[in-house]
Structures are given as structure tokens and as C-alpha cells.
């Protein structure tokens, strides 16, 4: 280095007092068609997932709120703002965009003396070049930083599973799981949508890194039932997955299952991984009614806080509707036991075959415990109440599904008609098909629903798999009468359904009587919804709490029953049948109980 090298940088100060000069038309010619100029963004297609912000090495992109765009499921309500003092026009933001809403126009000249004007929100702040067609868009097809198609999970062929209740979905191998995990862009839209707000990008990262223990730690932060939820979660997260906008949504549920499956059914191993080997007790006791997802979740998080929890369950084993309402081919009972055994290992006590209201009253629980949580689920079926529905060969799906688990005698006829279009209807449809195959060597089940196929509430794969197993799914018809001859069921008369709700959004189906059909059957199973059994609430307790117009107990944000501060309520009887919602509000109720019992501390 010489003396010139030292002083040369300071020559730039020679112009510090000179007025700046702006060249109004520095070049003045059109750029090449594929030139990477200023951004445009279709804000109605963009979901504000933030992948563009995350990939920008120059920190030139910030996600900001925009007037008129609200946060909703699958849309953060934010839109990218570009700082052209930082942008290097690499176009990685365009290439990673999961909705293909972002592009670079070929406009490259813009003169302004205010540097702040070069920070703007494409598609929102008015610019002259939005209408230009030239520029850089993501090349198609097959130009993506992530796979468009999800990795297929193997399953038993319909011929192999049609007469068996063993689990038919095989699960991912390590290679498959890592390949699927590589499709994740870690945008977090899924976390915002998940009722339990699980750290989905974090546990998917653990799959990529082959770190199952870290994956378990992430899962258990918000979900103590990963084996269960990895199989039967309604996966709302996948409905909003950003990569699903231009391809297949990520198999988030299956990746959760993959992590849980890798850890052996060893409670000591679980406690070691999760650091729960020595939990100090605080001397307070909590009674929990029901061992469904909300009750198990509440017990888990209360145990971690030092509470002594006792779960009262009226059936012989834990799980609630997860065990007694979901067939074993979808949710093997040993996987339920794996989740339950760990919760029991935390010191949670289970008392089975105890019916609250008869074996012990709710008032007695109030006296014996510091607080009570109730998550009794939806164990009652609902009837169509159409003519003939009171016949002895008309059944409720929830009753039959429970009897199958309890290994009670289940009536099986050669021709079965199921009324309903939800997942429970598919469960009983496929269960009866298996029983028919075992007993008669053939399947003859017809399932019909008011909804057309596009609007059936059942998961799409449930409908497809039911048909693969020989069941007939005939949607879009409303039940009018169960045909009875000489005291025996002969079939179900239906009319074509034209609409389900009226102009006010009220349930008021309309039918085309001219399009009448009769589905022949020897037994009819109703599966049009489930009800709650609140018979354990005495009239005195009912007089102290509030009910909404749907007959559900009114609770506050902590799931504390209004009018009875010692009673907390969650699960299906609050938010309807959904495992992940039950897990989420059981967790929140546990935090609410802790706050309630420590207010004066």
C-alpha cells in the first residue's frame, strides 16, 4: 500500500458542497422484453405469505398492512413493500412466489428527487407500468424451488383392506418424509390457521434435518396428541398451504405423523426428550370429565404446571369419540394408547366406567377439587324424524361405531342405506362395508346426502376410498320417508335436493319431487349430526350458567363457564366435532384454570 491508496477515498468529499444534478431522461429507450425492472403484484391473488421477504438476501422486502385487505384464513392481510435502494433485481422473490402473483416488469427508468418514493407497495401504490406485459415472470412449466406434487403415501389396495379394520395408510419412509418436507417454504400461513397454532414450519424443518427429538419438542409445545392428530386431524392448515395455490398442498398431517411414529412407545423416552421427568406438584387438584381430545389436552398442560389431575371417563378406555367414534382402520387404538400412556406417565389419574351424575355428582366434584373441566363430547346421534325413522332397523351411526369398538353384536344386513355426507357418515359406511364383506362376501351400501358432491363435508379422500371399497356414494338427495312393509325396512325414498339454505342462510331444503328415487335397503343408518348429553348438569347448576341459542354452554376466552367460576368447559360441546379444536381449547382452558386459581397470588 502506498500513500495514494490512503488518500484517494477522501477525494469523494470534493463534491460535498456541490448541488446534485438529476438527469431527467438518462437513457430513454425501451428495455428488452425479459429485462428485470420494477415490480408489480396482483394483490387479489397474493396471500401475504412472506416467502418473498424471507428469500430476499438484501432485506429489500417488508410485508406491510394494506387498507382494504383484511386478515383472514389463508391470507395474512399483508402485502410486499419494495425498497429499491436495496433491491438487486435478482428476481428470487418472483421465482419463489407460491401464488405466481409477483412479477418484474421491464420498466427500469424512473426519475424522482425524493428517495423515499422508491419504496412502494407494488399493485397498491399507483405506477405507470402495471399494465405492461413485458418483464420477468416465473418460467413455466416445471420451474419451481419446490415440488408441485406431494409425495404419495402408500396404502393397502382396496381388495386388501375391504374386509379388515387394520390401518391401511402405511406412513412415510424417511426418504419420502424428507422429500415432502423439502417442498415447504416455511411461510407460516399454516400456523396462523391451525387452531392450536402449531409450529408447523419448525417441525417440518426437523424432518428435513432428521432430528425427530426436536420435532417432538415442537409438536408437544401445542399438541400432546401427535399420534392421534397425525392421522385424523382435519388439517385446515393444508387448505391454506401457500404451495397449494399452484400445486398440491403440503402433506402437513402426514409429516406430523411421521415424527410421532419415529419415537418408540416408551414413556421414559418421551419424558427424557420433553424434559418432563420430574414435575413438582403445587398441591391443587383438578377434576376432568371426559378423556377426549380436550380433556387429555387440559390434563397434559395442567400436569406440566404442577396440578394433580383426575380424569373421569364413563367408557372402559380413554379417547372419547376418537376411540369410540372413529374406526380402527383410520386410527389404530394402540396409537391412542401411545399418546394416553405418556399423559398418564405425567401423574394424571384415570378413573374409567364412572358416569358423572349417577356414580358421582358434579357438585361433589366441586367440593373435592379446586376446579373442574368438562369435555364430554358429542356422543348422541340425531334423527331425521322422517316417517319410518322410529323402526327398529333404523340406527344411529355413533351407536354402531361405539358398539364395534366395544365388540358388542352389531346388526349387519345385506343391503344398507346411510343418510349423511360428513366424515362420520363415511366412517359408518366403510365400517358396514367391511362387516358385510366379512359376513356375506360382498358390499351393498348406499350413502346419500343433501349436499352435492362438491359440497359434501366429508374429506375428499374418505369419499374416494369408500367408492374404492365398493360403496355407492350418491349425493344431492334429501330423505323423505323410510319405506316400511310388514314392519320391515325396505328402503329409503328421496327427492332431488335443489338447495339446502334459504336466502337468509337458514336451513330450509327445497326439493324436486318429480325426481324421486328409492334406495333399497334392509336397514337405514342416520348420520346427520351429533348431539351432546348434558344430563350430568343438575337443574340448580343449569340455572347458574348461560346457554346460547344452540344449547351450548357459554364460556369466556379462558373457557370458563359464565356464572360458575370453578367450571371450565371445552371440546366438541363448545365448538363442534373437531379434534384439533378440542386440543386447542383444552390447552387454553388449562391456562385459564391456572390463572383462576392463582389470581390472588
For the stretch 271-315, pLDDT in tens is: 999 999 989 999 999 999 999 999 999 999 999 999 999 999 999
The three grid cell numbers given for residue 350, joined into one nine-digit string: 384415570
For 316-340, what is each residue's pLDDT tens digit?
A: 999 999 999 999 999 999 999 999 9
Average pLDDT over residues 452-458: 95
Position 256 scores a pLDDT of: 97
For 53-85, what is each residue's pLDDT tens digit?
A: 999 999 999 999 999 999 999 999 999 999 999
Which residues fall within 8 angstroms of residue 157, CB to CB, at 6 or more apart?
A: none
Task: Name the H helices within 86-140.
Answer: 92-96
Residue 1 has pLDDT above 70, yes or no: no
Of the pLDDT bands very low, low, confident and very high (cuts 50, 70, 90), residue 7 is: low
Neighbours of 501 (CB within 10 A): 11
* E strand segments, 329-433: 349-351, 371-374, 380-381, 394-396, 416-419
> In this prediction, what percent of the chain has a pLDDT beyond 90?
88
Residue 392 has pLDDT above 80, yes or no: yes
Query: Higher-confidence residue: 142 or 344?
Result: 344
Q: Are 591 and 556 in contact, with CB atoms under 8 Å apart? A: no
Position 213 scores a pLDDT of: 97
Comparing 11-20, 64-73, 94-103, the range with the smallest average pLDDT is 11-20
* 594: phi then psi, degrees, rounded to nearest 5: -60, -40
Average pLDDT over residues 199-221: 97
Position 550 scores a pLDDT of: 84
Which residues fall within 8 angstroms of residue 173, CB to CB, at 6 or more apart?
A: none
Residue 600 has pLDDT above 60, yes or no: no
**Size (the chain), residues:** 601
Of the pLDDT bands very low, low, confident and very high (cuts 50, 70, 90), residue 6 is: low
For 498-551, what is each residue's pLDDT tens digit?
A: 999 998 889 999 999 999 999 999 999 999 999 999 999 999 999 999 998 888
* Reported pTM: 0.91
Position 26 scores a pLDDT of: 64
Identify the H or E element spanning 268.
Answer: helix 267-274
Task: Name the H helices within 369-513.
Answer: 397-405, 423-440, 460-468
Position 17 scores a pLDDT of: 76
Residue 52 has pLDDT above 60, yes or no: yes
Position 11 scores a pLDDT of: 72
Which residues fall within 8 angstroms of residue 196, CB to CB, at 6 or more apart?
A: 222, 223, 580, 583, 584, 587
Residue 105 has pLDDT above 70, yes or no: yes
Of the pLDDT bands very low, low, confident and very high (cuts 50, 70, 90), residue 27 is: low
Average pLDDT over residues 428-454: 97
Of the pLDDT bands very low, low, confident and very high (cuts 50, 70, 90), residue 19 is: confident
Q: Strand, helix or coil at 414?
A: coil
If DSSP states are collapsed to H, E and C, what string results for 168-221? CECCCCHHHHHHHHCCCCCCCHHHHHCCCCCCHHHHHHHHHCCCHHHHHHHHHH
Residue 164 has pLDDT above 80, yes or no: yes
Radius of gyration of the chain, Cα coordinates, nearest whole angstrom:
30
DSSP single-letter state for residue 32: P
The C-alpha angle 130, 133, 138, rounded to 5 degrees, equals 100
Average pLDDT over residues 128-145: 85
Where b means 16+ CB within 10 Å and e means fewer, 180-205 reads bbebbbbbbbbbbbbbbebbbbbbbb
Alpha-carbon dihedral 248, 200, 558, 598, rounded to 10 degrees: 170
**Domains, the chain:** 20-136 (3.30.70.3270), 158-263 (1.10.1060.10), 282-379+532-601 (3.50.50.60), 381-530 (3.50.50.60)
The three grid cell numbers given for residue 193, joined into one nine-digit string: 390457521
Position 60 scores a pLDDT of: 97
Average pLDDT over the chain, rounded to an integer: 94
Q: Are 271 and 347 in contact, with CB atoms under 8 Å apart? A: no
Residue 4 has pLDDT above 80, yes or no: no
Q: How far is the CA of 21 from the CAs of 11, 13, 18, 117, 118, in angstroms?
A: 19, 16, 9, 18, 18
C-alpha span between 317 and 340 (Å, rounded): 10
Amino acid at each position: 500500500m502506498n500513500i495514494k491508496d490512503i488518500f484517494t477515498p477522501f477525494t469523494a468529499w470534493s463534491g460535498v458542497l456541490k448541488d446534485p444534478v438529476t438527469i431527467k431522461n438518462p437513457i430513454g429507450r425501451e428495455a428488452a422484453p425479459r429485462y428485470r425492472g420494477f415490480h408489480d403484484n396482483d394483490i387479489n391473488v397474493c396471500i401475504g405469505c412472506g416467502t418473498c421477504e424471507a428469500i430476499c438476501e438484501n432485506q429489500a422486502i417488508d410485508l406491510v398492512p394494506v387498507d382494504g385487505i383484511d386478515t383472514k384464513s389463508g391470507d395474512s392481510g399483508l402485502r410486499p413493500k419494495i425498497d429499491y435502494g436495496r433491491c438487486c433485481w435478482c428476481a428470487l422473490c418472483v421465482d419463489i412466489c407460491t401464488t405466481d402473483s409477483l412479477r418484474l416488469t421491464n420498466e427500469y427508468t424512473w426519475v424522482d428527487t425524493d428517495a423515499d418514493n422508491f419504496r412502494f407497495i407494488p399493485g397498491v401504490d399507483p405506477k405507470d407500468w402495471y399494465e405492461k406485459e413485458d418483464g420477468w415472470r416465473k418460467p413455466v412449466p416445471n420451474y419451481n424451488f419446490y415440488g408441485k406434487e406431494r409425495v404419495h403415501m402408500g396404502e393397502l389396495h382396496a381388495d386388501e383392506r375391504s374386509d379388515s379394520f387394520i390401518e391401511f395408510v402405511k406412513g412415510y419412509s424417511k426418504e419420502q418424509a424428507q422429500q415432502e418436507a423439502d417442498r415447504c417454504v416455511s411461510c407460516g400461513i399454516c400456523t396462523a390457521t391451525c387452531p392450536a397454532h402449531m409450529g408447523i414450519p419448525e417441525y417440518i424443518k426437523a424432518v428435513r434435518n432428521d432430528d425427530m427429538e426436536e420435532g417432538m419438542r415442537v409438536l408437544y409445545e401445542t399438541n400432546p396428541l401427535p399420534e392421534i392428530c397425525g392421522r385424523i386431524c382435519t388439517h385446515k392448515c393444508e387448505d391454506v398451504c401457500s404451495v397449494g395455490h399452484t400445486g398440491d398442498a403440503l402433506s402437513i398431517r402426514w409429516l406430523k405423523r411421521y415424527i410421532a411414529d419415529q419415537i418408540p412407545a416408551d414413556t421414559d423416552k418421551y419424558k427424557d426428550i420433553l424434559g418432563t421427568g420430574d414435575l413438582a406438584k403445587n398441591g391443587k387438584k383438578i377434576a376432568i370429565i371426559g378423556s377426549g381430545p380436550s380433556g387429555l389436552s387440559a390434563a397434559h398442560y395442567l400436569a406440566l404446571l404442577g396440578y394433580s389431575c383426575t380424569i373421569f371417563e364413563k367408557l372402559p378406555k380413554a379417547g372419547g369419540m376418537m376411540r369410540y367414534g372413529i374406526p380402527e382402520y383410520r386410527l389404530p387404538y394402540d396409537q391412542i394408547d401411545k399418546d394416553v400412556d405418556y399423559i398418564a406417565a405425567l401423574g394424571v389419574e384415570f378413573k374409567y366406567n364412572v358416569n358423572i351424575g349417577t356414580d358421582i355428582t358434579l357438585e361433589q366434584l366441586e367440593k373435592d377439587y379446586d376446579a373442574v373441566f368438562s369435555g364430554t363430547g358429542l356422543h348422541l346421534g340425531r334423527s331425521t324424524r322422517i316417517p319410518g325413522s322410529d323402526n327398529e332397523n333404523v340406527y344411529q351411526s355413533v351407536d354402531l361405531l361405539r358398539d364395534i369398538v366395544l365388540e358388542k353384536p352389531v346388526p349387519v344386513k345385506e343391503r344398507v342405506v346411510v343418510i349423511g355426507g360428513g366424515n362420520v357418515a363415511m366412517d359408518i359406511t366403510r365400517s358396514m362395508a367391511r362387516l358385510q364383506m366379512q359376513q356375506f362376501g360382498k358390499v351393498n351400501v348406499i350413502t346419500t346426502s343433501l349436499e352435492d358432491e362438491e359440497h359434501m363435508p366429508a374429506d375428499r379422500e374418505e369419499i374416494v376410498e369408500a367408492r374404492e371399497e365398493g360403496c355407492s356414494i350418491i349425493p344431492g338427495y334429501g330423505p323423505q320417508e323410510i319405506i316400511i312393509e310388514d314392519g320391515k325396512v325396505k328402503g329409503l325414498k328421496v327427492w332431488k335436493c335443489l338447495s339446502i339454505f334459504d336466502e337468509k342462510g337458514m336451513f330450509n331444503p327445497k326439493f324436486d319431487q318429480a325426481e324421486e328415487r328409492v334406495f333399497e335397503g334392509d336397514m337405514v343408518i342416520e348420520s346427520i349430526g351429533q348431539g351432546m348429553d348434558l344430563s350430568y348438569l343438575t337443574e340448580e347448576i343449569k340455572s347458574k350458567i348461560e346457554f346460547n341459542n344452540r344449547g351450548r354452554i357459554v364460556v369466556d376466552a379462558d373457557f370458563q363457564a359464565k356464572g360458575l367460576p370453578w367450571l371450565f368447559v371445552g371440546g366438541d360441546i363448545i365448538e363442534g366435532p373437531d379434534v384439533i379444536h378440542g386440543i386447542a381449547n383444552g390447552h387454553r382452558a388449562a391456562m385459564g384454570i391456572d390463572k383462576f386459581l392463582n389470581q390472588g397470588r
